[in-house]
Amino acid sequence: MQALTHTDFHFAGQVSKYTGKVRDVYDIRGEYLVMVATDRISAFDVVLPKGIPCKGQVLNQIASKFLDQTADILPNWKIAEVDPMVTVGHRCEPFKVEMVIRGYLAGHAWREYRDGKREMCGVALPEGMVENQRFPEPIITPTTKADEGHDLDISPAELIARGIVSAEDYAALERYTRALFARGTELAAEKGLILVDTKYEFGKKDGKILLMDEIHTPDSSRYFYAEGYEERLARGERQKQLSKEFVREWLMAEGFQGLEGQKVPEMTPEVVDGITARYVELYEKITGEPFVRHEAEDIAARIEKNIENYLAKL
């Protein structure tokens, strides 16, 4: 199977191209964004050397579905899904913050807690918690949105004091974050899943706040299987989960955490195929629908044609 790891398109009206860890984003006339979900994969803020076939399609189509299912909470940037790996939407002025919300003590939060930290982003954490335990109520732990390098935890007070976001806008972002997480929790429960934690990104267009980027995908979210959760928690066992955490765990087992001097372990065909299989499983479990793989002899050519056909109508 092919993997699309980079694009280099030149569209009519194109102002610029931004290359993120996973997405290539084309600015059209300063009004629209063409977001291509490539098959690149990142972990510990490092883009790994090999792409994962089908990953871009999985992420784009999951995000597209959840944007539609939350549009009643607040408007979002999406206009249309024009290719299995591409969404076209409104260009917004992004807030330089990722709104991370956690319902359970897992992942980064657990590692911090295990190492003795009892406060995250100004939120006091209860004593005596164990890994993957549910918080009394979800906590919001924002991070700075770094153009390069690692995103950093930051408290709401510091966000406001540093002028990254106004107090009024932050209150709205927190309100939307809790409402979106509640909706995501309900939708996950319908599929026998627990939405453990996730992140949201927001921007402004014409003075209004819009939800941007991806939502509730396995790259931005962590899911547990609900069945057996309590039993595994009581026994201190690992939870059966759907997220990109399995990639991080593989890397950590191979001695890589994105630190200076560390080398990414070899991504054999077996490793790559295994990650693809997990992403397909994620798609089918999260959406409740079978995954239909859209293949092409030249994926980039297919994408370019679909984008050009759509932009001609704008």
Per-residue pLDDT, 111 = 94
For 225, list phi and psi in degrees, rounded to 5: -75, 130
Per-residue exposure over 244-281, b if at least 16 CB sit within 10 Å of its own CB, e if not: bbebbebbeeeebebeeeeebeebeeebbeebbebbbe
Give Cα 268 distance to the centre of its chain.
25
Per-residue pLDDT, 146 = 65
Per-residue pLDDT, 145 = 79
Where do the DSSP E strands lie in the chain? 14-19, 23-28, 32-37, 42-43, 46-47, 78-83, 86-90, 93-94, 97-104, 119-120, 123-124, 134-140, 143-144, 193-205, 208-212, 221-225, 241-243
Per-residue pLDDT, 242 = 80
Per-residue pLDDT, 218 = 84
Domains, the chain, with CATH or none: 14-93+268-311 (3.30.200.20), 94-243 (3.30.470.20)
Per-residue pLDDT, 121 = 96
Q: What's the pTM value of the predicted model, to 2 decimals?
A: 0.89
Taking the chain (314 residues) in runs of 10, the rounded mean pLDDT of each run is 95 96 96 97 92 96 97 98 98 96 96 96 96 97 76 93 97 98 97 96 97 91 95 95 84 93 94 92 93 92 98 94
